[in-house]
Amino acid sequence: MIKVRVVALLMGFSTAILMPTVKVIEQQDTLLLQTEYGDYVVTDSVIRELIVAPGFQRLKLIHQYGVTPYSQGGDHFNRFDHSLGVFVLLRHFEAGLDEQIAGLLHDVSHTVFSHVGDFVFDSYWNRYSYQDDIHEWHLEKIGIMSILKKYGYEHACSCQAKKEQRMLEQDRPDLCIDRIEYLLRGGLVDKLITEAEIAPILNDLYFQDGMWIFKDVRSAKKLASIALWLSEHIFGTAWNGFTYTHAAAALKRSVELGLISLDDIHFSTDDVVWEKMKQSEDDLIKQSLDKVVNYNNYYILVDKSEAYDLHLKAKCLGIDPWVQTHEGIKRLTVFDKEFAAEYKRVNDIIAQGWYLKLR
């Protein structure tokens, strides 16, 4: 499958338009959302208007995993599905409408290729990603802030509001709805769980005193194991860091040459910008894109004791959820030694980073 994807890209064909798996059906005065978490009827005017807004619809064409579809091919999903998933989970757990709005819009400000923007604007190691830093500015630019003001929710996505929206966002290794959603959806895509396993996981979760807590250790371990697998095999891999770095280099060079603009990075879509860069005859852009698509041709992994040219490091996106036990609420790693060992192993691997010998 990867070879087919690579050949298609080199021949000049764009990737297929991402078709959302979340269905939005417009009915009289309502929207019906058909999701992996069940069907939800939306009657709130503000939510309906936000979902159909062009700035939100753009997320259908922003890959959740950045440039991974261009380098790996295969199944993946978009920020539209993820954002609607976050919204319906917040509604499922009865968050306030302002937090539901914040959840719906939390990823609207992503640049093209999602977190590649962190590499372009040098914010990968910051506590907050680049799209968080520009969130309110972006909402204003695309007209969504005017919708929020119309309904009196202009402060729902403010920095101050985010500090209070504990259901939606929390720092790792804690859970939050954003993290829960992309782990469940990522687990589905990579066949780590089935759709039938989602409901039991959600039924075993509750929110109390600012904490997401599992009632059952098996559900906690299932979701936490998905996070470790995705961290080890996607988010924290050498190829992920390598392809993101060179995609960022291509974007920077394209702006420098006037091939694309900063507005394209902030407001355009993945395939549109990818195709623009592919048309360039600039050697640096051509080589950078080739390093994204054919990364295996450009390096081999070596031990740190050997001669290497590049040391790549990443962040581990593992979780260590709280679980209700007979002895009180405890971290999963505290009483599950098998998971604790796996948690340490994956964190150690990613913390060490990858040593690359360039070809």
pLDDT of 12 over the 80 cut? no
Distance CA 164, CA 118 (A): 25
Beta strands in 272-341, from DSSP E residues, in sequence order: 299-302, 310-312, 322-325, 328-331
221 is written with which tokens?
A: 């371990």
- In this prediction, residues 319-340 reach a mean pLDDT of 96
Helix, strand, coil content of the chain in percent (nearest 5)? 55, 15, 35
Cα separations in angstroms, 177 against 88, 103, 107, 311, 329: 10, 8, 13, 33, 19
Residue 33 has pLDDT above 70, yes or no: yes
Q: What does the DSSP 8-state code read for residue 158?
A: S
The whole-number pLDDT of residue 19 equals: 58
The 10s digit of each residue's pLDDT in 275-321 is 999 999 999 999 999 999 999 999 999 999 999 999 999 999 999 99
Span 209-245, pLDDT tens digits = 999 999 999 999 999 999 999 999 999 999 999 999 9
Is residue 189 predicted with pLDDT exceeding 60? yes
Q: How does the average pLDDT of the chain come out, rounded?
A: 92
Q: Is residue 73 very low, low, confident or very high in pLDDT (cuts 50, 70, 90)?
A: confident
Mean pLDDT of 348-356: 96
**Short-list 78, 114, 109, 106, CA closest to 90:** 106
Task: For residue 93, give the H/E element and its range.
Answer: none
Judge whether 108 and 240 are in contact, CB under 8 Å.
no
> For 246-267, what is the mean pLDDT?
98
At residue 7, does pLDDT exceed 90? no
pLDDT for res 128? 84
Instruction: Note the pLDDT of residue 8.
Output: 29
Is the sign of the CA dihedral 253, 254, 255, 258 positive or negative? Answer: positive
* Chain segment 110-144, per-residue pLDDT in tens: 999 999 999 999 998 878 899 999 999 999 999 99
**CA–CA distance, 247 with 116 (Å, rounded to integer):** 7
Helical (H) or strand (E) element with 27: strand 23-27
Q: Rounded mean pLDDT of 75-81? A: 89
Which of 17-31, 157-171, 200-214 is predicted with the least confidence, judged by mean pLDDT?
Answer: 17-31
- 124-134 exposure pattern, b = at least 16 Cβ within 10 A, e = fewer: beeeebbbbbb
Main-chain dihedrals φ then ψ at residue 261, nearest 5 degrees: -115, 170
Q: Quick one: pLDDT band at residue 194, thresholds 50, 70, 90?
A: very high
Q: What is the pLDDT of residue 14?
A: 37
Which pLDDT score is estimated for 4? 25
Residue with tokens 């959820």: 321
**Percentage of residues in the chain with pLDDT exceeding 90?**
89
